[in-house]
Amino acid sequence: MNYKTQKEAAKKGILTKEMEIVAGKESLEPQKIIDLIASGQVALPANKNHTALSPEGIGGGLRTKINVNLGISKDCKDYEKEFQKVQLALHYGCDAIMDLSNYGKTNTFRRELIRMSPAMIGTVPMYDAIGYLEKELADITAEDFLKVIEAHAKEGVDFMTIHAGITRHSVEVFKSTKRLTNIVSRGGSLLFAWMEMTGNENPFYEHYEKVLEILREYDVTISLGDALRPGSTHDSSDSSQISELIELGRLTKEAWKKDVQVIVEGPGHMAINEIAANMVLQKRLCHNAPFYVLGPLVTDIAPGYDHITSAIGGAIAATNGADFLCYVTPAEHLRLPELEDVKEGIIASRIAAHAADIAKGLPGARAVDDKMSDARRRLDWEEMFSLAIDGEKARRYYESVRTADDHSCSMCGKMCAMNTTNLILEGKNIELNTN
């Protein structure tokens, strides 16, 4: 094998087995996938040590992918429950799982996750540093942070969120902005605190070349984290967000020079009327690198329903250029999600992603919708359930109130529009008052 990373292989015109699988999944010619990866418009996160991986591509011209966040915290450290969430996420078709565990020795959970998951695995090494190193934040050195990145890479992590764009300069911009919600990125806030307490530059920025060397060795895709993403609609599109985005564009090119694949992370909260312009701006500033967004949440007043505020924003974002949606659950801002929260978040994100793929005119995106519409016309309930994103729920709702006429549901009964039209077109009469 005369290449280290998927990007290096693509630049040399080599079709890897992972590229071939992605081309098949996306119904694209293999050469098209090679060209997209070589240009950086598509990333194919595939750590050489993640042997259970079913490869996926993320980027322009491909199906919109979704990520599920999982992991333990100090207050909720039930590994068995987290693995139940993993199984649920895989069952409902997630493309990636991020282990955001932030308490104790998290590598036991992460190693098992990598061993059994066909979905891409991502992490945020900054979260793990304190537990892994058993040091207080202010006592951690730049070399310590690099050790954590290397440990995650060796274990088989496919992509890592690294907040390399928050610098001493961007911190000054942030302070002058006087935000309503300050810094809401967990990793970003920890780096900000470390920089302020030590007086040092961001270690991931200062030692970016070394970070890239580690990632290149294992073919880990860098997901350039947006430490200064807006945490409220009030703060969206402000100077803090945009100044960091400009820096992320520069860091993207530096990574590509080292043949490290790149994903760029985007805003968390944003009013609907700003989303499309932000997607275009990101693609311009970050040279069409794949864009990964958390939502964005389009209003701040719906705790308990933020899977909906996120799906609205995600559909608009993906229609206008975002390539990768991070799910948001009803528990966002409130607690670690339970199993039902995870399911609701996945379904909402899949709806948003699929709706965007239809709007973008991706080949074949509308095909399943056409099949569903045809099944509805024919009142073929079994086929409808098989085509639904959540067929189990659809069946449960339908069967909860049965009607005298099995052709219809309890909403319309004998007045079912489909049945009425079908009968008339068949030359039959309809009778509404008969038992």
Q: What is the chain's pLDDT, residue by residue, as a tens digit (435 residues)?
A: 689 999 999 999 999 999 999 999 999 999 999 999 999 999 999 999 999 999 999 999 999 999 999 987 777 677 888 899 999 999 999 999 999 887 666 788 899 999 999 999 999 999 888 878 888 999 999 999 999 999 999 999 999 999 999 999 999 999 999 999 999 999 999 999 999 999 999 999 999 999 999 999 999 999 999 999 999 999 999 999 999 999 999 999 999 999 999 999 999 999 999 999 999 999 999 999 999 999 999 999 999 999 999 999 999 999 999 999 999 999 999 999 999 999 999 999 999 999 999 999 999 999 999 999 999 999 999 999 999 999 999 999 999 988 777 678 888 888 899 999 999 999 999 888 766
238 is in an annotated binding site: no
Q: List the alpha helices (DSSP H) in 258-304.
A: 272-285
Question: Could you tell me if 422 and 377 are in contact, meaning their C-beta atoms sit under 8 angstroms apart?
Answer: yes
For residue 260, is it within any domain?
yes
Measured between alpha carbons, how far is 286 from 255 in angstroms, rounded to an integer? 12
127 is in an annotated binding site: yes
Tokens representing residue 6 in the block: 């998927």
Structural domain total, the chain? 3
> What range defines the domain where residue 424 resides?
401-435
Decide which of 359, 384, 415 is a domain's last residue.
359
Whether residue 345 is found in the same domain as residue 428 = no
Helices (H) and strands (E) in the chain, counts: 19, 10
228 is in an annotated binding site: yes
In this structure, the number of other CB atoms found within 10 A of the CB of residue 224 comes to: 27
92 is in an annotated binding site: no
Whether residue 163 is found in the same domain as residue 35 = yes
Task: Look at residue 76 in the predicted model and tell me its pLDDT.
Answer: 65
Whether residue 352 is found in the same domain as residue 284 = yes
416 is in an annotated binding site: yes
For residue 1, is it within any domain?
no
Measured between alpha carbons, how far is 183 from 88 in angstroms, rounded to an integer? 31
Residues ≥6 apart with Cβ < 8 Å to 424: 430
Whether residue 212 is found in the same domain as residue 84 = yes
> Could you give the angle at which helices 239-257 and 168-177 cross, rounded to 10 degrees?
160
69 is in an annotated binding site: yes
For residue 175, is it within any domain?
yes
Whether residue 216 is found in the same domain as residue 354 = yes
For residue 62, is it within any domain?
yes
CA nearest to 52, candidates 2, 100, 118: 118
Residues ≥6 apart with Cβ < 8 Å to 385: 391, 394, 395, 398
229 is in an annotated binding site: yes
Whether residue 250 is found in the same domain as residue 376 = no
Whether residue 273 is found in the same domain as residue 248 = yes
For residue 128, is it within any domain?
yes
SS3 category, 319:
helix
Whether residue 207 is found in the same domain as residue 280 = yes
For residue 231, is it within any domain?
yes
169 is in an annotated binding site: no
98 is in an annotated binding site: yes
Whether residue 110 is found in the same domain as residue 83 = yes
For residue 243, is it within any domain?
yes
For the stretch 119-142, what's the b/e string if a residue is b when 16 or more beta carbons lie within 10 angstroms of its beta carbon? bbbbbbbbbbbbbbbeeeeeebeb
Measured between alpha carbons, how far is 259 from 48 in angstroms, rounded to an integer? 15
Whether residue 348 is found in the same domain as residue 379 = no
Total length of the chain: 435
CA nearest to 355, candidates 389, 391, 307, 394: 389
163 is in an annotated binding site: yes
For residue 185, is it within any domain?
yes
Measured between alpha carbons, how far is 144 from 129 in angstroms, rounded to an integer? 8
Question: 67 phi and psi, to 5 degrees?
Answer: -115, 145
Whether residue 185 is found in the same domain as residue 277 = yes
CATH number for the domain including 197?
A: 3.20.20.540
398 is in an annotated binding site: no
Whether residue 33 is found in the same domain as residue 56 = yes
302 is in an annotated binding site: no
